[in-house]
Amino acid sequence: MQGVWFSEAQSANLGFSCRVKSVLHKEKTDFQDLLVLDTETFDRMLVLDGAIQTTIVDEFAYHEMISMVAVNSHPVPNRVLVIGGGDGGAIREIIRHPKVNKASLVEIDERVVECAKKYLPEISVALNNEKVEVLIEDGIKHIKEKSNYYDVVIVDSTDPIGPAVGLFNKDFYGAIFRALKDDGIMVAQTESPWFNKDLIRRVFSDIKGIFPIAKLYIANVPTYPSGMWSFTIGSKVYDPEKVSVNQIPDTGTKYYSQDTHFAVFKLPPFVKALLEQEV
């Protein structure tokens, strides 16, 4: 192999590597190691604590799927919150929805936001939009201070290590429930069904124990461990599988669509079985 390669240890026994053209930025923030690379296959790439967060080539799959399923399951998603997601990709998708009046981003690490603006402008393009509020603070603290406030809450967290550990527990999901309006919806990224079975079982069980409706759906994100990625929805009223097609606007998405909205809930049998196992 020639040249410089970046490798992520995606599990104890598996790695993911790609050839790097140049290192655009490297620093240790107050919270994590931050790296921006220009790669041969995936263009520019954001890496936090050694884990790939997003790339120019495949980011749309993740950002559309963490955002649009929940937002389009709510008939009037006026006020939407994203916890984490400092790159701005989820925010970009959310404000395309015609009924979203305000989108708030709560990101604990300001350097992620600033580096995204500089090196990933295609992803962070909406962070300066008049509908968007960017708050540099602890998402857990923020959500605990809100009550009956948001229509949709999206937990766009990093892996459950470092500053994101607290975003994967039952108390946090309970705080989200209280911060949502009476017909609110939440969604969280919940890792790979291949490599994170215990986490998915636990999170699904926690959310199912709090929300009347709990559903898991999957999408393909090539640079994430295994490529198959899961998201878990908790809803107080609206079943995302019973949404009217007429409720789903065309916002120019490239992965998500009216058909995809329903198809992603048709889980492979091994994923279904995973959710049926006791924690």
The pLDDT tens digits for 181-235 are 999 999 999 999 999 999 999 999 999 999 999 999 999 999 999 999 999 999 9
Q: What is the pLDDT of residue 50?
A: 94
Q: Band of the pLDDT at 265, cuts 50, 70, 90?
A: very high
Class of CATH domain 59-276 = alpha beta
Beta-ladder partners of 36: 25, 46
Looking at the DSSP bridge assignments, the partners of residue 188 are 155, 232
Across the strands, what pairs with 155? 83, 188
User: 167-170 — which CB contacts under 8 Å span 24+ positions?
Assistant: 167/83, 167/84, 167/139, 167/140, 168/199, 168/203, 169/206, 170/206, 170/209, 170/210
Identify the pLDDT of residue 48.
96
259 is catalytic: no
Share of the chain above pLDDT 70, in %: 95
CATH 3.40.50.150 domain locations along the chain: 59-276
Question: Mean of the pLDDT values across residues 148-176?
Answer: 81
- pLDDT confidence of residue 10: 87
- Cα 103 from Cα 34, distance rounded (Å): 25
90 touches 64 (CB < 8 A): no
What are 134's two structure tokens?
């960017």
* CATH 2.30.140.10 segments of the chain: 4-55
Least confident of 121-130, 159-168, 202-211: 159-168
**Catalytic residue (choose from 87, 109, 151, 156):** 156
248 vs 157 pLDDT, higher one: 248
Q: What is the pLDDT of residue 1?
A: 43
pLDDT tens readout for residues 26-73: 999 999 999 999 999 999 999 999 999 999 999 999 999 999 999 999
pLDDT for the residue 277: 81
What 3-state class would DSSP assign to 190? coil
- Tokens 């899961």 correspond to 230
Check pLDDT > 50 for residue 273: yes
Q: Position 260: which residue type?
A: T
pTM: 0.94
State mean pLDDT over 231-253.
96
The CATH number for 4-55, chosen from 3.60.10.10, 2.30.140.10, 3.20.20.10, 3.40.50.720, is: 2.30.140.10
**Mean pLDDT, the chain, whole residue set:** 94
Q: Which residues contact 30 (CB under 8 A, 6 or more apart)?
A: 109, 111
